[in-house]
Protein backbone atom coordinates (compact mmCIF):
# COMPACT_ATOMS: atom_id res chain seq x y z
CA UNK A 1 0.00 0.00 0.00
CA UNK A 2 2.64 2.54 1.02
CA UNK A 3 4.96 1.76 -1.88
CA UNK A 4 2.41 3.26 -4.28
CA UNK A 5 2.38 6.67 -2.59
CA UNK A 6 4.00 9.21 -4.90
CA UNK A 7 5.92 10.88 -2.07
CA UNK A 8 7.66 7.62 -1.14
CA UNK A 9 8.44 6.81 -4.78
CA UNK A 10 9.96 10.27 -5.22
CA UNK A 11 12.06 9.98 -2.05
CA UNK A 12 13.27 6.54 -3.12
CA UNK A 13 14.13 7.82 -6.60
CA UNK A 14 15.99 10.79 -5.15
CA UNK A 15 18.05 8.51 -2.90
CA UNK A 16 18.81 6.18 -5.83
CA UNK A 17 19.86 9.16 -7.94
CA UNK A 18 22.15 10.38 -5.16
CA UNK A 19 23.71 6.93 -4.90
CA UNK A 20 24.28 6.66 -8.66
CA UNK A 21 25.69 10.18 -8.81
CA UNK A 22 28.05 9.43 -5.92
CA UNK A 23 29.33 6.47 -7.93
CA UNK A 24 29.98 8.72 -10.94
CA UNK A 25 31.81 11.25 -8.75
CA UNK A 26 33.92 8.48 -7.18
CA UNK A 27 34.78 7.13 -10.64
CA UNK A 28 35.81 10.60 -11.79
CA UNK A 29 38.07 11.08 -8.75
CA UNK A 30 39.60 7.63 -9.21
CA UNK A 31 40.46 8.51 -12.83
CA UNK A 32 41.73 12.03 -12.14
CA UNK A 33 45.19 11.11 -13.46
CA UNK A 34 44.09 8.87 -16.34
CA UNK A 35 45.09 10.42 -19.67
CA UNK A 36 42.13 11.10 -21.95
CA UNK A 37 39.50 10.32 -19.31
CA UNK A 38 36.35 12.41 -19.66
CA UNK A 39 34.53 13.32 -16.45
CA UNK A 40 30.94 12.07 -16.17
CA UNK A 41 27.89 13.25 -14.29
CA UNK A 42 24.22 12.30 -14.23
CA UNK A 43 21.38 14.34 -15.62
CA UNK A 44 19.54 16.21 -12.85
CA UNK A 45 17.05 14.18 -10.82
CA UNK A 46 14.13 16.39 -11.84
CA UNK A 47 14.76 15.61 -15.52
CA UNK A 48 15.10 11.86 -14.89
CA UNK A 49 12.00 11.73 -12.70
CA UNK A 50 9.89 13.77 -15.12
CA UNK A 51 11.00 11.67 -18.09
CA UNK A 52 10.10 8.47 -16.20
CA UNK A 53 6.68 9.92 -15.32
CA UNK A 54 5.94 11.21 -18.82
CA UNK A 55 7.63 8.62 -20.99
CA UNK A 56 6.64 5.54 -19.06
CA UNK A 57 3.84 3.17 -19.82
CA UNK A 58 0.37 4.41 -20.70
CA UNK A 59 -1.78 5.48 -17.76
CA UNK A 60 -5.43 4.76 -17.17
CA UNK A 61 -7.39 7.97 -16.59
CA UNK A 62 -10.82 6.33 -16.43
CA UNK A 63 -12.26 2.83 -16.13
CA UNK A 64 -12.46 2.16 -19.90
CA UNK A 65 -8.80 2.86 -20.56
CA UNK A 66 -6.15 0.21 -20.90
CA UNK A 67 -4.22 -0.23 -17.63
CA UNK A 68 -0.48 0.33 -17.55
CA UNK A 69 1.94 -2.23 -16.14
CA UNK A 70 2.25 -0.13 -13.00
CA UNK A 71 -1.53 -0.16 -12.41
CA UNK A 72 -1.84 -3.87 -13.09
CA UNK A 73 0.25 -4.89 -10.10
CA UNK A 74 3.50 -5.44 -12.03
CA UNK A 75 6.62 -4.13 -10.29
CA UNK A 76 7.36 -0.46 -10.87
CA UNK A 77 10.19 0.15 -13.28
CA UNK A 78 13.39 1.76 -12.07
CA UNK A 79 14.21 5.30 -13.12
CA UNK A 80 17.06 5.20 -15.63
CA UNK A 81 19.78 7.75 -14.93
CA UNK A 82 21.82 8.66 -17.96
CA UNK A 83 25.41 9.84 -17.74
CA UNK A 84 26.67 12.90 -19.56
CA UNK A 85 30.12 14.36 -20.12
CA UNK A 86 30.86 17.39 -17.99
CA UNK A 87 31.95 20.55 -19.78
CA UNK A 88 35.15 21.19 -17.77
CA UNK A 89 38.31 22.18 -19.58
CA UNK A 90 40.78 19.42 -20.26
CA UNK A 91 44.30 19.22 -18.97
CA UNK A 92 47.24 18.81 -21.38
CA UNK A 93 46.82 15.01 -21.26
CA UNK A 94 43.12 15.28 -22.28
CA UNK A 95 41.67 14.53 -18.83
CA UNK A 96 38.61 16.67 -17.95
CA UNK A 97 38.42 15.85 -14.21
CA UNK A 98 38.74 18.86 -11.89
CA UNK A 99 39.04 17.71 -8.28
CA UNK A 100 37.52 20.95 -6.98
CA UNK A 101 34.42 20.41 -9.12
CA UNK A 102 34.15 16.80 -8.00
CA UNK A 103 34.36 17.85 -4.34
CA UNK A 104 31.50 20.29 -4.93
CA UNK A 105 29.47 17.56 -6.63
CA UNK A 106 30.11 15.22 -3.68
CA UNK A 107 28.72 17.88 -1.33
CA UNK A 108 25.65 18.30 -3.56
CA UNK A 109 25.14 14.52 -3.54
CA UNK A 110 25.28 14.42 0.26
CA UNK A 111 22.72 17.21 0.43
CA UNK A 112 20.50 15.38 -2.08
CA UNK A 113 20.65 12.17 -0.05
CA UNK A 114 19.90 14.04 3.19
CA UNK A 115 16.91 15.66 1.47
CA UNK A 116 15.58 12.27 0.39
CA UNK A 117 15.85 10.98 3.95
CA UNK A 118 14.12 14.09 5.31
CA UNK A 119 11.24 13.68 2.87
CA UNK A 120 10.87 10.03 3.83
CA UNK A 121 10.99 10.74 7.58
CA UNK A 122 8.50 13.60 7.31
CA UNK A 123 6.12 11.46 5.28
CA UNK A 124 6.36 8.66 7.83
CA UNK A 125 5.63 11.13 10.64
CA UNK A 126 2.55 12.38 8.80
CA UNK A 127 1.33 8.81 8.24
CA UNK A 128 1.88 7.86 11.88
CA UNK A 129 0.09 10.97 13.08
CA UNK A 130 -2.84 10.34 10.77
CA UNK A 131 -3.41 6.86 12.20
CA UNK A 132 -2.97 8.07 15.78
CA UNK A 133 0.52 6.71 16.49
CA UNK A 134 3.65 8.61 17.27
pLDDT tens-digit map of 1-28: 555 788 888 888 899 999 999 999 999 9
Nearest to 18 by CA among 75, 79, 76: 79
pLDDT digits (tens, 9 = 90+) for 44-101: 888 877 776 665 554 555 565 544 444 444 334 445 566 677 666 778 888 888 899 9
Question: d(Cα 16, Cα 104) in Å, to the nearest integer?
Answer: 19
Boundaries of every domain in the chain: 2-130
Amino acid sequence: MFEKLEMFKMAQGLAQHASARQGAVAENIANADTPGYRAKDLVPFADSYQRAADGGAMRATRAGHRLSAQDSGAPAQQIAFSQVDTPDRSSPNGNTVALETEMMKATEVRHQHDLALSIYKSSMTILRTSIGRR
